[in-house]
Chain A
């Protein structure tokens, strides 16, 4: 059973560019969350999608946006990239939160 799949695994972008990261949730999971993990820090919650709608949002600017598709997969878009957006972006999926989220291996974004 495949877990959470994220793509790409690494990418390098230039300041001011836009980026799209993709996530396929674990089979049977319908809720997807995105987290940003800076080097040496704990993950910070960006937003959560359920039934194709953003259900909860963390303290991130509007440059960060997302989407969930009917098959529960999700995208994270970041516009006008800043150097400070360099981080590991983690996608997590769940059916029932108290069972614990399943995380993907992440996308390492470097902004130069």
Chain B
């Protein structure tokens, strides 16, 4: 079936460190891929997306590249800030389902200290 696997957290970094959060997926064909972020006490916000292989999504300094060969969509940021502390969710919309529901990973908690 369709699924998303994220690296276990929490991830703890110092300000200005490089961030990578790994995400791999299982799905047939070319699903659309997303990263969402959830700040404490809030709903989810779309961070970036990619809808076809080799697409690079980017927003607010975060980037992720759709890698079909490795079925991955790793999230990266060159220099994190304290304000980036949140839970990050990788998600996909499969192409082989009768609908457009998002399938989420379990989330990775990022904690950035000054």
Which A residues are within 8 Å of any B CB, using their own CB? 4, 6, 31, 33, 35, 40-45, 48, 55-56, 58, 90, 92, 94, 97-106
* 18 A-B contacts (beta carbon < 8 Å): A6-B43, A33-B101, A41-B107, A42-B106, A42-B107, A45-B102, A48-B99, A48-B100, A48-B101, A90-B44, A92-B44, A97-B93, A98-B49, A100-B49, A102-B46, A103-B36, A105-B42, A106-B43
In the bound complex, CA of A40 to CA of B41 (Å) = 12
Interface assignment of B97: CB less than 8 Å from any CB of chain A: yes
With A97-B93, A98-B51, A100-B49 known to touch, is A43 a contact of B42 (CB < 8 Å)? no
**Which residues of chain B are near A90, meaning CB under 8 Å?**
43-44
In the bound complex, CA of A33 to CA of B99 (Å) = 11
In the bound complex, CA of A35 to CA of B111 (Å) = 25
A105 near B100 with CB under 8 A, answer no
Among the listed B32, B45, B99, which residue makes an inter-chain contact with A98, where contact means beta carbons less than 8 Å apart?
A: B32
**Which residues of chain B are near A100, meaning CB under 8 Å?**
34, 46, 49
B43 near A97 with CB under 8 A, answer no
A92-B102, A97-B100, A105-B41 are known contacts; what are 12 more A-B pairs with Cβ within 8 Å? A31-B100, A42-B91, A44-B104, A45-B103, A56-B99, A92-B44, A98-B32, A100-B49, A101-B102, A102-B46, A103-B43, A106-B43
Interface assignment of B89: CB less than 8 Å from any CB of chain A: yes
In the bound complex, CA of A58 to CA of B42 (Å) = 23
B99 near A103 with CB under 8 A, answer no
Question: Which chain A residue shows the least CB distance to B45?
Answer: A103
Q: Mark B46-69, 1 if CB is under 8 A from A, else 0.
A: 100101000000000000000000
Interface residues of B in 63-111 (CB under 8 A from A): 89, 91, 93, 97-107
In the bound complex, CA of A102 to CA of B32 (Å) = 16
